[in-house]
Amino acid sequence: MQIDARLQEGIAAHRNGNLEAAQDAYLDVLKADPDHADGLHFLGLLHFDAGHADNAIALIRKSLEQNSANASALNNLGNILKISGQPSDALQAYAKAVELEPRHEEAWSNINVLLRAATHNDDLLPILTEIVRLDPDNPEAWHNYGLSLMLAGHKDEAADALERCLAFGTEVYADPVWHARVLCALGRQERALEHLEKIVEADPENEVARYQLAAVRGDELDHAPEDYVKSHFDKFSATFDDVLKGLGYRAPELVAEEVGTLAANTNERFEDVVDLGCGTGLCGPLIRDHCGKLTGIDLSPGMLKKAAALKAYDFLVEGELVAFLESDLPTRFDLAVCVDTLCYLGNLQPFMTALHKAMKPGAVLIASVEHLSGPSTEDFRVDSTGRYAHTPSYLRRCAEAASLSYVKDKTVTLRHELGKEVHGLIFYVQKPRVSNV
Ligand SMILES: C[S@@+](CC[C@H](N)C(=O)[O-])C[C@H]1O[C@@H](n2cnc3c(N)ncnc32)[C@H](O)[C@@H]1O
């Protein structure tokens, strides 16, 4: 038997989804040579495809003992470790991959996702320091090096590294949201502005960069433009669930817990429910059992496509949520949830007024917002990422001005990001049972 030919047969069968034939071929290879590095690697991937992640990790590690210089195997090992909930080991595997192959794009992008959610990276920083020294024309290395320095608390060096990365041009790593956020957090507002202006000049139709620029410049904006939200979330939809999981995002669970408690207290299901800004549908399955009919509404078709795949919603509507609540609806709602979406609306008065119109008497809204606290006298504030935070007193004022009762709120941690907790509020408003409208 020609070992290499048999291995190629296995790979071809594997690609075509014929796992049995692939397994036979890989086992033949390993029978002839039990230490065959590629045979072990591909058999590991096959085990992963068959749902046996632990076997996959063991086989790929064994393969790497035979050939430690296989960047793809290291990247694959990182992916499986990440999915198996072992982010530190995954980060180490990706780091070894880029050490071997400094232009391994996939491994860099994986490092980026993990670093954004990490709280420390002591093992990685020396490796990245060495890589930027050896490969100074590598924007992805500078980007992750900057992020790594920031996590280690070296603010100035981090800002220098990110500026270096931006010098490669607006088409490289032109993620205006992220870079603007980080440069502002590092005290380099001017540089963030300059970068955003360049992107807008090169691409005047870029809604994301235009809004970001307005937010960093401090322009008076009372909500994020629809085009911006749509374009940002359409692009983000493929990785949204993964990225948010990495950030310890808990808002859907926190809102669903409140829904569960309310359902238990009233001992009934909510007949008509709407999830405002449902996104990829993280909240839908968590509240489904408490709902008669569940409708999701969102501006982003990309996010809605993901939500549709969950089969948790009876209706999914593409549209702007305030306009939807104001429209001539076929039914009014018993319950509305709104998770991590009001951060794209600053002025909440139109929302509360429209909500009152769309709710049945006695209906409830349970929603999350980012918490604006401290000495400021503002009701809401937009940060350099274009996300709004609100004060609880403002939420109460808007609700009451729309003839809704502000029942309660509680402070929570919504997620963590760049090593810090993001504080939020879960609040609860109700339309009075006896209402004039
Ligand atoms: C951060 S995501 C949260 C998604 C989901 N609620 C969750 O918790 O996973 C915010 C979502 O709100 C949607 N959104 C923002 N502003 C909106 C608006 N004015 N009308 C409808 N959807 C909006 C976005 O498209 C995005 O899908």
Which of 386-417 are b and which e, b meaning 16 or more Cβ less than 10 Å from the residue's Cβ?
bbbbbbbebbbbbbeebebebeebeebebbbb
Question: What confidence tier does 2 reach under pLDDT thresholds 50, 70, 90?
Answer: very high
Q: Please state the domain extents for the chain.
A: 3-220, 242-430
Give CA angle at 263 (262, 267), nearest 5°.
120
pLDDT the model gives residue 419: 66
Question: What confidence tier does 173 reach under pLDDT thresholds 50, 70, 90?
Answer: low
Equal fold, 3-220 vs 242-430: no
- Average pLDDT on 321-337 reads 97
The dihedral formed by the CA atoms of 113, 117, 118 and 124, expressed in degrees to the nearest 10: 10
- Interval between CA 373 and ligand 1 midpoint (Å): 23
Q: Which of 177, 208, 229, 382 to mutate to test the pocket of ligand 1 (most atoms within 8 A of CB)?
A: 229
pLDDT the model gives residue 244: 86
- pLDDT of 310 > 60? The answer is yes
- Average pLDDT on 141-160 reads 90
Beta strand pairing status for 333-338 and 359-370?
parallel
pLDDT tens, position by position, 49-92: 999 999 999 999 999 999 999 999 999 999 999 999 898 899 99
Fold that domain 242-430 belongs to in CATH = Rossmann fold (3.40.50)
Instruction: Express as a percent the part of the chain with pLDDT over 90.
Output: 67
Whether ligand 1 lies within 6 angstroms of the CB of 339 is answered as: yes
pLDDT the model gives residue 171: 67
Q: Which amino acid is at 282?
A: L
Whether ligand 1 lies within 6 angstroms of the CB of 9 is answered as: no
pLDDT tens, position by position, 3-23: 999 999 999 999 999 999 999
Kindly calculate the radius of gyration of the chain based on its CA atoms and give it in whole angstroms: 25
Q: Closest Cα partner for 117 from 208, 16, 205, 239?
A: 239
pLDDT the model gives residue 239: 84
Q: What is the rounded distance in angstroms from the CA atom of residue 112 to the CA atom of residue 91?
A: 10
pLDDT tens, position by position, 205-237: 888 888 888 888 878 788 898 988 998 899 889
Which of these ranges, 170-179, 250-259, 290-299, has the smallest mean pLDDT?
170-179
Question: What confidence tier does 202 reach under pLDDT thresholds 50, 70, 90?
Answer: confident
Question: What confidence tier does 437 reach under pLDDT thresholds 50, 70, 90?
Answer: low
pLDDT the model gives residue 267: 81
Residue 175 in contact with residue 207, Cβ under 8 Å?
A: no
301-310 vs 226-236: helix crossing angle, rounded to 10: 50
- Give the chain's mean pLDDT: 91
Residue of minimum CA distance from atom 27 in ligand 1: 279
Which atom of ligand 1 lies closest to the CA of 251?
8
- Interval between CA 321 and ligand 1 midpoint (Å): 9
Q: Closest Cα partner for 89 from 113, 119, 124, 50?
A: 124
pLDDT tens, position by position, 339-378: 999 999 999 999 999 999 999 999 999 999 999 988 778 8
Question: What confidence tier does 418 reach under pLDDT thresholds 50, 70, 90?
Answer: low
Whether ligand 1 lies within 6 angstroms of the CB of 369 is answered as: no
- pLDDT of 385 > 80? The answer is no
This prediction's pTM: 0.74
3-220 to CATH, choices 3.40.1000.10, 3.40.50.720, 3.40.640.10, 1.25.40.10: 1.25.40.10
- pLDDT of 435 > 80? The answer is no
Whether ligand 1 lies within 6 angstroms of the CB of 296 is answered as: no
Q: Which of 223, 239, 344 to mutate to test the pocket of ligand 1 (most atoms within 8 A of CB)?
A: 344
